[in-house]
């Protein structure tokens, strides 16, 4: 009898634990960010179906999308781009110029600032390697960006010497599409620097 009561108590305890866990998972579901949820938000943007949607409603929804993107780690952002290229491109094209600027300002330019600060703090050898890596990545993308090509016309030593000034100028003057193209490279550099700090 005592043994039976013991097992009933164990069962009741486990049911209680799973119940609490279920409530916690349900209540925190909106604060868990995944590539799939972010892509779903982009794909469900209300203005894709209703072009007459008001500015304030659009900005509120855009803020939800941007928050979701920001909360993703670098691997998740990469997964989102690889698995949802069509969705992300459709979403970005659907934005007004001001909305595109807001999106890039909060998802790409913040990474740019973090990368630039991180590079400044690196030892000289590692800084040279990182800048060389950025130079190579930019060469791959230069065909689609005249602004990038101007920076790359100088030799590697000149690029490294003027890196901070040139990159800051580029990010200030480059079209939004060029900044968006640089997002994967910036995220990769930031992830690498975080790895070095660990």
Residue 34's CB: how many other CB atoms inside 10 A? 14
**pLDDT tops 90 at residue 131:** no
HSE at residue 27, side-chain half, CA atoms within 13 A, is: 6
pLDDT of residue 173: 74
Domain ranges of the chain: 34-103, 109-197
46 Ramachandran zone, left/alpha/beta (phi>0; psi -120 to 50): alpha
Q: What is the pTM of this model?
A: 0.65
198 three-class SS: coil
pLDDT of residue 70: 87
**Measured distance CA(184)–CA(172) in Å, rounded:** 18
The overall average pLDDT reported for the chain is 76
The arithmetic mean of pLDDT across residues 39-43, rounded, is 93
**pLDDT tops 80 at residue 33:** yes
**Measured distance CA(171)–CA(189) in Å, rounded:** 16
pLDDT band at 154 (very low <50, low <70, confident <90, very high): low
pLDDT of residue 29: 44
Identify which has the larger pLDDT, 108 or 65: 65
pLDDT band at 155 (very low <50, low <70, confident <90, very high): low
pLDDT of residue 15: 62
Residue 155's CB: how many other CB atoms inside 10 A? 10
Percentage of the chain lying above the pLDDT 70 cut: 71
The arithmetic mean of pLDDT across residues 192-196, rounded, is 62
Contact 156/80 with Cβ under 8 angstroms? no
**pLDDT tops 70 at residue 41:** yes
pLDDT of residue 30: 47
In the numeric block, which tokens belong to residue 104?
């890039």
Q: Which of 19-23, 63-67, 102-106, 171-175 has maximum average pLDDT?
A: 63-67
pLDDT band at 126 (very low <50, low <70, confident <90, very high): confident
Contact 177/102 with Cβ under 8 angstroms? no
């Amino acid at each position: 009898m005592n043994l039976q009561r013991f097992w009933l108590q164990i069962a009741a305890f486990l049911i209680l634990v799973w119940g609490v866990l279920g409530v916690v998972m349900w209540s925190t579901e909106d604060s868990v960010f995944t590539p799939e949820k972010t892509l779903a938000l982009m794909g469900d943007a209300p203005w894709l179906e209703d072009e007459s949607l008001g500015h304030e409603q659009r900005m509120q929804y855009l803020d939800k999308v941007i928050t979701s993107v920001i909360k993703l780690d670098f691997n998740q952002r990469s997964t989102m781009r690889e698995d949802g290229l069509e969705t992300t491109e459709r979403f970005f094209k659907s934005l007004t110029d001001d909305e595109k600027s807001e999106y890039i300002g909060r998802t790409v330019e913040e990474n740019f600032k973090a990368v630039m600060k991180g590079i400044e703090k690196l030892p000289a050898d590692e800084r040279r390697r990182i800048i060389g890596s950025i130079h190579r990545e930019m060469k791959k993308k230069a065909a689609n960006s005249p602004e990038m090509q101007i920076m790359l016309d100088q030799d590697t030593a000149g690029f490294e010497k003027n890196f901070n000034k040139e990159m800051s100028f580029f990010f200030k003057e480059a079209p939004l599409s060029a900044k968006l193209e640089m997002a994967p490279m910036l995220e990769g550099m930031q992830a690498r620097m975080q790895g070095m700090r660990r």
